[in-house]
Amino acid sequence: MLRKQWKRLTKMLAVLLCGALLFPATSGYAKPSHVHNTDLKELIVLNGHLEGEFSTEVKEYTVKTNDEKLLLSITPVAVNAKVAVNGKRVNHRKVVKVEVPSSKVRVKIDVATPKGIKDTYTLFVEKGPDYDLKDVTLFQNGDGSVIEDYQLGFQKAEVMEGVKAYLMFYSKKDFYEVWDYMNRLTPEQIEQHLTSREEGENKDKIYKISNLSYADGVGNTFRSGQVDVITGKPLNVGDYHAYAATLGEDGVLGMTEADRTISINPYPTNVELLGSGGKIENYSVTFKQADDEKVTHYFLFYSSKGLTKLVEPIISGENVESLEKLERDNRGKLLSLNETGNEPVSFAPNQKTIEGDTLSNGLYYAYVTAVSEEKVLGSSKSIKMINTNSMPVPLETIGDGVGTVLPAGGSTGDTDAYFNAIREAAGVERPRIAIFNSSRDSVDVAYDHFHLDDGPYLALETEFRNRGFEPVYIPLAVDTFDFVANNEYFVNLVKSSHVVMLQGGDQMKHARSLLEDEGTATPLMDAIRFVYNNGGVVAGTSAGAHVMSNPMFGVGRSFEALVINDTELKTVADVPLTGFLDPTLKDNNFQIPGLGLVENILTDTHFDMRGRLGRLLVAMRDTGHEIGVGLDEGTALEVKGDIGKVVGENGVWILDASGATFNEQGTSPGFEVDNVIVHYLTEGDIFNMVTKEVIPAGNKKEVDRSDATPYQSPNLFSGEYESTKSLLSFAKSTETEQVTTVKGDASDPVFALQWEKGDISKYYQSDVDYEPKALASYKKGTVTNIRLSLWVE
């Protein structure tokens, strides 16, 4: 009996053991491992490269291929899994072929179980050469409420052959939807999308950058009024993707999304400060409410600090409860919607700043923030300021009483000689310098540049202190000039300074901020002239140097300006309060009233780095200036009285058109001129504005001329320092004349530029190397009295 029971028991145990081995339990149930598994066991790209090692846990991959079809081997873990590629069921036991119709395709591989459980692997397929711009970075200036508050910085693509221009655009749509749209556009259709278009249903969607040197990491600003490239709607509340693309002969070559999105929260507008005096309760604000149902409250506060990077972090992410605590600390005032009608809202008695400080001597902005039940939304600030400072006292005579102007060609951040020259010309050990950042898009941008470091770039305040100055912030911009340019306090603050510094950016904004609509001076412009007439220094770099002439010019590219041959006339009133003033004809020159700080001289900046010799010649004729001064980057001309002295790293071109003969403005097929006298100066050289005499620096010697063939440039008006190389090699050669042809598109005229030597033509050379790589094979030199002629062949 016991033996039979034992046999029966051992049989049962054996059966159970076999069952356990065949059907291991998982989560309390015995099931085959393949039934509910949605992973891929293996994914092989047979005619391309899968970046990174495949793993079942990693769901997204980049694939490189050169073929029109992508060949995939797809092996799911589950033998009974259903596989679909881009929504279409495929037989995964065979090689799967996927069409690659463009250089960027998104491939989705869905792995599903019989019960409908699904997982997705995504392949981002890139076909052909890599035309994508690198390191595309989104920068924000100002409060971010308008598209011109944003910039894209980027580096050149791995492959640049065939790239004609860069494109900037934005959209709420994701990358591949935007790519599919852009990839379908013909070059003609892209032209219809450009911000430079005057009319058409697709205008203002794409900003085109024709100068390929702008892929240098520095921000390029979206244009005023630019709209979503897909929807055609302007920037509004929501999240947007920013894109930069390369453009070729037949359309878009590559496209890259910026490193972050543009996020717009609802915010109040038209914040106006009312009141005066030394007590905060004497002030109140009015504002227009945000048109958004999420807004439940507003928060009123004040601060001496700017909006975008100092105030916003203090309150961002806060909710109503935390704002109520700030209100209990008397650091702000929380307002319900029914408290914000048409009547002014006063600050609380003895209200502190948002940082918790009491009102003291200084300048303060009033802020209003929109708030939802969950979080703080967008903020706006007043244009007018709470000013509790005492009135500045204008200086008496500075130094010897003879003013100095120091226009520079831009990119002066590392040019010690330039800042030393400014300080020495001021004649005091630590000069007070009034910084004008009115070339920027808004006062928020101007504030940030002055007070805040930006990556590798120091705040202007820090930079100038480090260089031996006492910097003074002037809150002037196109959105504040009505207040600041006419305010007695800021007028006297400038008059109390030894130096005025006009920063780079957009020279048209400088003019809009400092001049009346008809081009006459505002009180703040008169204060700048007061500093100069009193013996002080007025310096300017890039846009700050450009605006010194009257009239001034800008925007145009050399070849286009030569072909159009007609500089457009604009007024100060034409300059928009947001964005940029563009010429009617794409890439043409236009002239506009300037500040008139350099008499009888027309300045141009970033001169031969951007091939601007052609456009300056056209502008000299059309503005009536006999002397043109082309300032290279990192280089300035220190002008005191009639004497100009070169300071800095590269060259200054002096074009003397007093004896020149021009063809008539607007003549077809293009611009022509004969007998412009060219001088090229480098550090230490002196030019007399009256006698037109050049005195080379003491470290330069006249050199014997060489039999070597002069350099023939293929890109005289577009390459980096191509005109400089052409001039220097000709000047030191034995040749007496040289003609270089300049070509554009097949339908454009061909220009011929001639250098010609005379008996008084001289070439001097130092032992000092140039900084730019393009001039690495040259020594710094001085060229005098070369005759330039230009004609259409």
Residues 90 and 51 in one domain: yes
pLDDT at 5: 59
Residues 539 and 660 in one domain: yes
Residues 368 and 417 in one domain: no
Nearest by Cα to 513 from 497, 539, 490: 490
677 touches 787 (CB < 8 A)? yes
Q: Which of 126, 154, 175 is the last residue of a domain?
A: 126
Integer-rounded Cα Rg, in Å, for the chain is: 33
Residues 497 and 643 in one domain: yes
What values do phi and psi take at 560, rounded to 5?
-65, -40
Residue 705: inside a domain:
yes
- The mean pLDDT values, 10 residues at a time, for the chain of 793 residues are 57 55 44 68 91 90 90 90 91 89 89 88 90 93 81 94 96 94 94 85 92 88 92 91 96 95 88 94 94 90 83 74 92 90 90 95 94 87 94 90 95 92 95 96 89 86 96 95 96 98 96 97 98 97 97 92 96 87 88 94 96 96 97 97 96 98 95 98 97 96 90 88 96 95 85 96 96 93 98 95
pLDDT at 27: 42
pLDDT at 29: 38
Residue 599: inside a domain:
yes
Q: How far apart are the C-alpha atoms of 460 and 122, rounded to whole Å?
A: 46
Q: How far apart are the C-alpha atoms of 511 and 332, rounded to whole Å?
A: 37
Distances (CA, A) of 692 to 608, 629, 640: 22, 13, 15
Residue 770: inside a domain:
no
Q: What domain range is 164 assigned to?
A: 134-264
Residues 172 and 288 in one domain: no
Q: What CATH number is given to the structural domain containing 104?
A: 2.60.40.10
Q: Which of 73, 106, 126 is the last residue of a domain?
A: 126
Residues 708 and 574 in one domain: yes
User: What tens digit of pLDDT does each residue of 150-202 get?
Assistant: 999 999 999 999 999 999 999 999 999 999 999 999 999 999 999 877 788 88
Residue 422: inside a domain:
yes
pLDDT at 576: 87
Residues 673 and 726 in one domain: yes
Q: Which of 126, 153, 178 is the last residue of a domain?
A: 126
Q: What CATH number is given to the structural domain containing 153?
A: 2.60.40
Nearest by Cα to 331 from 364, 365, 371, 303: 303
List beta partners, residue 263.
Answer: 239
755 contacts: CB under 8 Å, gap ≥ 6 = 678, 726, 727, 730, 731, 737, 738, 786, 787, 788
pLDDT at 629: 98
pLDDT at 21: 47
Residues 550 and 579 in one domain: yes
Residues 427 and 563 in one domain: yes
Q: What CATH number is given to the structural domain containing 429?
A: 3.40.50.880
Number of structural domains, the chain? 4
pLDDT at 353: 96
pLDDT at 28: 41
- Count CB neighbours of 638 within 10 A: 23
Residues 277 and 210 in one domain: no
Residue 728: inside a domain:
yes
Residues 424 and 441 in one domain: yes
pLDDT at 12: 61
Helix (H, G, I), strand (E, B) or coil at 64: strand
Residue 26: inside a domain:
no
Residues 246 and 364 in one domain: no
Expressed in angstroms, the distance from the first to the final Cα of the chain is 122
Residue 29: inside a domain:
no
Residue 14: inside a domain:
no
